[in-house]
Amino acid sequence: MTVRFGVVGCGAIGQEHIRRITNTLSGGKIVAVNDINADNAKSVVQKLGLDAKVYENGHDLIHAADVDAVLVTCWGPAHKEFVLSAVQAGKYVFCEKPLATTADDCLEIVAAEMKQGKHLVQVGFMRRFDKGYVALKEAISAGKIGTPLMLHAAHRNPTVDARYSTDMAINDTMIHEIDVLHWLLDDEYVSAQVVYPRKTSKAAPHLADPQIVLVETKKGVRIDVEIFVNCAYGYDIKCEVVGETGVAYLPEPATVQLRSEAALARPILMDWKDRFIEAYDIELQAFINAVSTGSRLTGPSSWDGYAAALTADVCVKAQSRPGEILPITLKECPEFYK
Ligand code: NAP
């Protein structure tokens, strides 16, 4: 069965997902598009040569009889409205992160999904589909480093634009670590603390950069995440898990090593889009495969969306109380999501 997609939000990532469903992946087709700016949706249909109907209203698109699954790629504050509408209509929905901007809104989606009695939602935390993180998880689960004790992570961007604010370091940047690290360790977060190192001269006056977020898990693993968004030298993602008998590292992206001009060198990527490009393909293909076969979705669920939103809220609170350890109190995960 070909999965017929309706897309709500035709901006940057919306267009990228439309392109990959149309040109790269198999089993999916874009049949409907919507954007708050209808002219934008029309121009995307033209530009990408789609055979898709343009809807002025996202809810009409969701309810269209020929739409099997909804891709929610509009801006974050509008996600809840469209995800909820799709779930209530009994439709599958792939929602870019965040699932919703508050933990309570995520819980509303969780409740609606449980009422349908079927897993309908996948959240776009694509790192769970990155081959490097998958290999790292396999090594940990196979006991290659013994019981995990500590985890050191870094999320570095070469630069950010002037609109980037201190809380975005959590909500837009570290949110990916928040999701992938608890999945990696098969654990839950219980507390967070933020500390600020010396500030880089490259950061705008309003921005605290770098930051270190210290998180503890239920099993007692200590995680430190460095967020450094004006590191100047490249887009660099690090993850090192220290266990009782060994250490496991996230593999570096495959780039060519050069011996040249008296140096041994490997290029570092500059653009975040290049770092996880394959993971975006794999996550959406997994979604299409599950929808077309009626099997359970394997990606991050709406419960994971809730856990990420709540954790991010606590981390943002901790930013304004440097050094203070704040509790992260997640609700009990329902059997439905285990
Ligand atoms: P973007 O380029 O600004 O695109 C958002 C689009 O949605 C714009 O065309 C916007 O129109 C439209 N829109 C806004 N409100 C809408 C509404 N109520 N109904 C329908 N369309 C609406 O942003 P983006 O970079 O694509 O990001 C979109 C989402 O994807 C964000 O939540 C972002 O966090 C997420 N994202 C995730 C990743 C990842 O790594 N997983 C990467 C990038 C983005 P206007 O421009 O007219 O407002």
**Tokens 């196979």 label which residue?**
142
271 ligand 1 Cβ < 6 A:
no
pLDDT at residue 273, as a whole number? 87
What pLDDT sits at residue 1?
87
Choose one of 7, 39, 75, 272 to mutate for the ligand 1 pocket test, by most ligand atoms within 8 angstroms of C-beta: 75
Confidence (pLDDT) at 295: 96
pTM: 0.95
Question: Which of 8, 15, 74 to mutate for ligand 1's pocket (most ligand atoms within 8 Å of CB)?
Answer: 74
Ligand 1 contact, 73 CB (< 6 A): yes
Q: State the pLDDT at residue 176.
A: 97
User: In this structure, what DSSP letter does residue 113 have?
Assistant: H
Residue whose pair of structure tokens reads 């999916």 in the numeric block: 28
Q: Are strands 121-123 and 92-95 parallel, antiparallel or unpaired?
A: parallel
> From the CB of 111, is ligand 1 less than 6 Å away?
no
- Whose Cα sits closest to atom 7 in ligand 1? 74
- According to DSSP H, which parts of the chain are helical? 12-19, 38-47, 58-63, 79-88, 103-116, 131-141, 168, 175-185, 272-275, 277-293, 302-319
Low-confidence ranges of the chain (pLDDT < 50): none
Domains of the chain: 3-123 (3.40.50.720), 128-270+307-337 (3.30.360.10)
Q: Is the CB of 75 under 6 A from ligand 1?
A: yes
Q: Distance, CA 136 to ligand 1 centroid (Å)?
A: 31
In single-letter form, the type of residue at position 221 comes to V
Q: How far is the CA of 193 from the centre of ligand 1 (A)?
A: 30
Residue the block writes with tokens 């770098």: 210
Query: How many alpha carbons lie under 13 Å from residue 325 in its C-beta half-sphere?
Result: 8
Distance from Cα 145 to the centre of ligand 1, integer Å: 40
In contact, 42 and 16? CB cutoff 8 Å? no
304 lines ligand 1 (CB under 6 A): no
Query: What residue's CA is closest to ligand 1, atom 34?
Result: 97
Q: Which residues pair with 225 in a beta bridge?
A: 153, 213
Q: Ligand 1 atom 46: the closest Cα is on which residue?
A: 11
